[in-house]
Structure 1
């Protein structure tokens, strides 16, 4: 079953269970996916849908930081609930050891030896870790290894 089909099934379940936060978040995710499908005039693959969901999580984390800085913990709590719902549809996160192993493998595969090769390493890793690890943190790990 595709990710989009899972989202639609979970939306129906949330409607039946009258879970307002879950229902609203799933509808938001489906709307974001549908918007991209309309803009590009093609159906999204699971990998592309995962990228959309990952972006939604990142946006909500940024919003939480801004709400907390502005002294609005109630809005930050709503964003945190939405993150929990979205993360149920993302693949399981990679452990630090798995990220390190993939990083070493990618560095060897592209023959990276300096910071000039960072883009090549990021390109090799992106498909493998999409939705399973924070690319910003991986970028910092790559910088540390290539210096």
Structure 2
């Protein structure tokens, strides 16, 4: 029997609490999160661990940020506000975000660990950073910082 991931358990408990309290907005977002996790489990035919769940939630955060930007550009503040509310709920399940200085420290450590010297070595550096920073930093921004550092 597989052990349920603590994050998944927390999501289930919070969904039940949102149902009881009648918080429809929170409930809807929690159900979206659970559906995304369930879909991944069906696709991979396995139970996800917390790291994989964090990766899925990180992807949802990225999608919300892109949507907010597009809605704001189209002057649809109502839809942008809805996405922002979902974003805040999803982010509550992610670990504390790292500061830019902490991210730079991780990048320096990864560069010295891999012996990276040029942009060609970026894949090695990102391979070391991704498991450490997943859900704790915007990986697109981290990638930009690594590229700038190696150039």
Both proteins in one fold, TM over 0.5: yes
- Flag structure 1 segments of 5+ consecutive residues without an equivalent: none
Question: Equivalents in 1 of 2:58, 2:23: separation in Å?
Answer: 22
1:112 matches 2:116 = yes
1:139 Cα offset (Å): 1.1
RMSD: 0.9
Q: Which portions of structure 1, spanning 4 or more consecutive aligned residues, are displaced by more than 6 angstroms?
A: none
Question: Equivalents in 1 of 2:91, 2:140: separation in Å?
Answer: 18
- Flag structure 2 segments of 5+ consecutive residues without an equivalent: none
Give CA deviations for 1:16-53 in whole Å, capped at 9, x if unaligned.
11111110000000011001111211000100000110
Question: Equivalents in 1 of 2:118, 2:139: separation in Å?
Answer: 19
Equivalent pairs, count:
147
Task: Give the alignment's TM-score, normalised by structure 2.
Answer: 0.95
Aligned to 1:92: 96
Task: Give the alignment's TM-score, normalised by structure 1.
Answer: 0.97
Question: Equivalents in 1 of 2:85, 2:28: separation in Å?
Answer: 11
Question: Equivalents in 2 of 1:144, 1:36: separation in Å?
Answer: 33
Q: How does 1:1-147 map to 2 (within 5 A)?
A: 2-147=6-151
1:98 Cα offset (Å): 1.0
